[in-house]
Amino acid sequence: MKKLSKKLLKVAKKILKNKEFKDIIDIFERDYDTRKCFRCNGKGTIDSILNDGKDNAICPICNGNQVFKKPNIEEVIASITCAQGKHTGGIREAYAASNDPGYYVWRYTKYYLGIDHFKPVLADVYFGFHPYQEHLNLLAKACSQYFRP
């Protein structure tokens, strides 16, 4: 995740004080700090017959890291919040496609708000095996309630 400004992190803390986020914060705080990759089951490699005859290939989901760290809610909220212009404090207009948790939450928030009328397929491609996908989806629903005009 890109380095975020102190101003955005301050706005994110203010947003997280709203009632929509109370349950989500509890869920994130009670969960483990890391989870094993679903694809390789925490090994970092997968059996592959398509990898030039090699027995094991690096897992394409976790890139051999074996685990995923729990996303930081403040950073995710700050990354989807607009920092300047007439939409300051609202949801960003654009976000470059990436495997960043902020991108997933941003796409689904726009979908739940009705701004994006197509199911965010690209976000699902990046997060198809992410172990915190359910948590991020709940966060996107809470964000859509907060950012609703």
Please tell me whether residues 81 and 107 are part of one structural domain.
yes
Count structural domains, the chain.
Answer: 2
Domain membership of residue 76 as a residue range: 6-31+70-147
Please tell me whether residues 109 and 119 are part of one structural domain.
yes
Q: What is the pLDDT of residue 50?
A: 63
Residue 103 lies in a domain: yes
Please tell me whether residues 97 and 137 are part of one structural domain.
yes
Strand partners, 35: 68
Q: What's the CA gap between 9 and 81, in Å, rounded?
A: 10
- Six-digit token string for 16: 């997280």
Half-sphere exposure of 86 (CA within 13 A, CB side): 0
How confident is the model over 62-112, as pLDDT tens digits? 888 888 888 888 889 988 888 777 777 788 888 887 778 888 899 999 999
CB 77 within 8 A of CB 143: yes
> Among candidates 44, 20, 148, which has minimal Cα distance to 90?
148
Q: What's the CA gap between 23 and 94, in Å, rounded?
A: 28
Please tell me whether residues 78 and 16 are part of one structural domain.
yes
